[in-house]
A = this chain, B = another copy of it.
Amino acid sequence: MEPKIIRNKEEMRNWSRSMRAQGKTIGLVPTMGYLHQGHLSLITEAQKHTQLIVVSIYVNPGQFAVNEDLSTYPSDLHGDIEKLKSIPNGVDVVFNPQNLYDYGVEREQLKEREKEKEGGVVSCLEDEEHETWIRVEKLEKGMCGKSRPVFFRGVATVVAKLFNIIEPDVAVFGKKDYQQWRIIQRMVRDLDFAVKVIGSELKREEDGLAMSSRNVHLSPQQREQALSISRSLFEAKSAAKSGKNISSELRRSVIESIEAAGGKFDYVEIVDQESLQTVEEIKNGVVVCVAAWFGKVRLIDNMEIS
């Protein structure tokens, strides 16, 4: 099935409204493109809930800090559309806007304002006119929020924009980005968005590596080393199941595995699945979350233990 490509906000909203007026329900799968099997599984999940599917493909500058990998984030729109065509029952719309933060303000004015800008951590939107940010103040603090302080405000904000433009009934997020998924759930509850948020299971390559658009940047050697993440997570899960319930010990063995393989961990945390607060003793409903560097590539992964 050939998806309709929409690049304009107004056209997107008009499409959704005309569909809703016909009684159709709409599912949204937000992505940054360079689609892999993990994304396709989100779409399959969305198809279970709604009649129509919109996939957004937009690399959001609002969630990248100026020193991060916005400029090298991989993209392949043509390939993405080919993949979407191959999905059984397909996708109705690909929403692929050029710039979601262009409000038609003259460049001259922006340059004036840039001069006035204050210090502090800023995203790749620092010289833009945009100034409204959504903060999910507790959940955004830990884990990825520590090393990427503008990341979650950028994610929450762009998702709110997409919700307001596309007006979906359901939105599907991957549990690979566990903290992101919980933050979006919380935002939807706290701001009363009329959107049902679905978390879809993390997908792994056959060798266990969590699927990610960033995997393409790994050298063959790094690719091999990166398997230490999933391997140590599976080991931690088995250990917990067999009664080893001291978080600090499980955490230490995950860290040791990653370091032994040549990786550098950003964080390894064992947290409550809902509050994302660290737990000392593993009882019920925790998740082990990992972020680690292999060369210049930062990977994340996680394992729920229920």
Q: Which residues of A contact B (CB under 8 A)?
A: 9, 13, 21, 100, 103, 113, 116, 130-139, 156-157, 160-161, 164-165, 167, 186-187, 189-194, 275, 277
Contacts and interface: CB of A to CB of B under 8 A. Distances in A.
Nearest to A275: B113
Contacts of A193: 164
A111 to B, nearest CB: 14
Given A164-B193, A192-B161, A192-B164, A187 B21 contact: no
A88 to B, nearest CB: 31
Contacts of A192: 9, 100, 161, 164-165
Contact of A186 (B131, B135, B167, B187): B131
A103 B135 CA distance: 18
Contacts of A137: 131-133
- Total identical chains: 2
Given A133-B134, A134-B133, A189 B21 contact: no
Contacts of A138: 131
Contacts of A275: 113
A277 B113 CA distance: 11
Contacts of A100: 192
A160 B191 contact: yes
Contacts of A165: 192
B134 A134 contact: yes
A120 to B, nearest CB: 10
A164 B134 CA distance: 15
Contacts of A187: 132
A138 B187 CA distance: 22
A86 B97 CA distance: 47
A192 B13 CA distance: 10
Contacts of A116: 277
Contacts of A13: 194
Contact of A21 (B21, B135, B139, B194): B21
A157 B134 CA distance: 9
Contact of A130 (B139, B164, B190): B190
Contacts of A156: 132
A187 B139 CA distance: 22
A103 B189 contact: yes
A289 to B, nearest CB: 19
A185 to B, nearest CB: 11
The 8 closest A-B pairs by CB, nearest first: A132-B190, A164-B192, A161-B192, A131-B138, A131-B137, A132-B136, A132-B187, A165-B192
A129 to B, nearest CB: 8
27 contacts: A9-B192, A13-B194, A100-B192, A103-B189, A113-B275, A116-B277, A130-B190, A131-B139, A131-B186, A131-B190, A132-B134, A132-B135, A132-B136, A132-B186, A132-B190, A133-B134, A133-B137, A134-B134, A135-B135, A157-B190, A157-B191, A161-B191, A161-B192, A164-B191, A164-B192, A164-B193, A165-B192
